[in-house]
Chains A and B, each alone.
Chain A
Amino acid sequence: MPDATLDFELHRRRLDNGLDVVVAPDPSLPIVGVNLWYGVGSRNEREGKTGFAHLFEHMMFQGSKHVPKNGHFDLVERAGGSLNASTSFDRTNYFETLPSHHLDLALWLESDRLGFMLPAMTQEKLDNQRDVVKNEKRQRYDNQPYGDWLERLLGLVWPSDHPYTHTVIGSMEDIDAATLDDVSDFFATFYVPNNAVLTVAGDVEVEHAFDRVEHWFGGIARGEEVPAIPGNLEIPIPMAAPQRVEVVSDVPLARTFVGYRIPPVTDPAFAAVDLVAQLLGSGRSSRLYRDLVRTGKVRDAFAYAFPLSGGASMLLLGATGLPDADPAELETLLTDSAAGVVEVEPAELDRALALEEARLAQSLEHLGTRADRISMNTQTFDRPERVTEELAELRAVTLDQVRAAGERWVAHPDRAVVTYIPEAG
């Protein structure tokens, strides 16, 4: 089958201050996506400062020297754009999609907070956003059934001195302890042009876009080199021994989460593990659906290979039991089905690739997603053009390599397991 045509035009330049800039013109709609990836996430947090990268992301919307509090949302929404940001383990991204004649607005806003954020910071703003983040944590984690699953699983998959061992949202105590000094230190350390990728994708003329980027960002001083990720990244893959915890809790149905250490996204072996995850969990002809859901053994099941780059990554499996399920059986059901991937058939691989091809093309219809994927490929792989090559990379993986990846990274007992058991009554 022919590959979907994904031949985006891409241009990359680096400003003198180190800002890595990619322009991807596409005039088909009068829209532009502006996307910044900063090479900082929860992995860069030190002990006692968990959750700070994310709290800092909130502070980035509290105005800068020339932009009032709420100015970002106010001005971008007024221009008919949408915007947001997110914090992950390895990075923090900030993005706007807006009508293309407002390109300068987005660049002005983004450059002002990169160059001139601190003058606008106040204790009142920090206190306000601290309360917002604490309510975010309550809404998304503490007040949700299974809300602490990731915190528990990360604690089992990673050693206590590994940077992925704590969640992005962090702990209430650490969020409470954050100070304005932490804000300025973090800003000076990580929010420097030499630690960022800026992608402009959509209805722009290439030279004009570079010119506007230079205009707004060129005068911002380069920062120091970003310090090494704290903690010990040199850990064995897979884990040395299994880890398990059972949680009796106020949940509707039993649910099990299983984590495996796998090679990082930057390792050539990752593509095969990623395919394993898709063969297990992608679509209704996938293994977990076929073996467990369609047969009525579980309510739902999924698989996902986290694309982490810090020395190792994690393959996640999960399943929810039906009301009469025996929670003790969930792990075995899940891991037995997953281990079956060692004898995956060629037709399964063809289906997984066909599905991925269509989904990839459809996700790239959105300029925001396209810009984000380009920033990711630039920062993580130093290859923006990889955005159009991801499918080819997957296609290059052979059936034997997929089976071997299953054998080596999945079909073994050294995994972390968190099982939720509904409280009686």
Chain B
Amino acid sequence: MEDSILLEVKDLKTFFHTEEGIVRAVNGVSYTLKEGETLGIVGESGCGKSVSSYSVMGLVEMPPGRIHGGEILFRGKDLLKMNDREISAVRGRHMAMIFQEPMTALNPIMTCGDQIREALRIHTRLTKTEQDARILGLLKEVGIPAPEKRMNAYPHELSGGMRQRVMIAIALSCSPSLLIADEPTTALDVTIQAQILELMKELQKKHGMAIILITHDLAVVAESVDRVAVMYAGEIVENAPVREIYRNPKHPYTQALLQSIPELGKRDKKIEAIPGRVPNLMEDIPGCPFANRCKRAMDICRSEKPELKPVGEDHLCRCLLYNDGSDNTR
């Protein structure tokens, strides 16, 4: 069970068809996730980290979105080939998602208890009393004080941290095997963020679920995940175990990102900005999309697209610097 593959995404392409043109939000993304593993997908706004996970959940609005290719295998079955009924049976039951802003994700005119009940009603056959007991148990499990009272509270009566806990309770209601967390702590204060990350770790240990953590925050990722996939302009540019990413980053973008964040207590660290900004995803970039901001760009980078290739044990990188198989370290 431990090492079996839960989710395999192969060459996923999700484009948005807008009036101005086609936005290649996710442009050939592949990764695998083992049972019980935590994968961090890191990148800046517009890199496609959220859209790639929304595609897995089947939450991309179509139109304007359209999946142009690829496979999403959940325990070996391609979600993209399932009909709506089959998808709904997987989504919510085996996969669940929590969002950045719990206030907009929760229904403002429904009590917290009823929102959990909704998930239970759709995916389980519990009686009303059994549901009540399960709701109470879930609220207690996610650390909500006085759950009997909070069950009947509306989302606006709770703080941001409490709302995120309710979201997690809803996501956990059917004991999913995969939890996708989209910037779950970005809207929260650091002390509350620490509480929520701790809670997610605890619950993962207890339920053995796999987690995809989507975030822009390299520090949050460092503390919470087993593997990291770094995304840039709709593509994964580097994918490796978390220690490897921080000890031995290969892609110039990953290196630049790590160099651009101040670290508490490390005042000697030389902080460097990344010049320029992310490319327009409507343009079809002929070479590497990072080339125009890259310190180590070569002529070939502007004309040839690099592929995601192994650069070490269990370490993939999409960069022409490593094309000949040799390890051109910094």
Whether both chains belong to one complex is answered with: no
Q: Which residues of A contact B (CB under 8 A)?
A: none
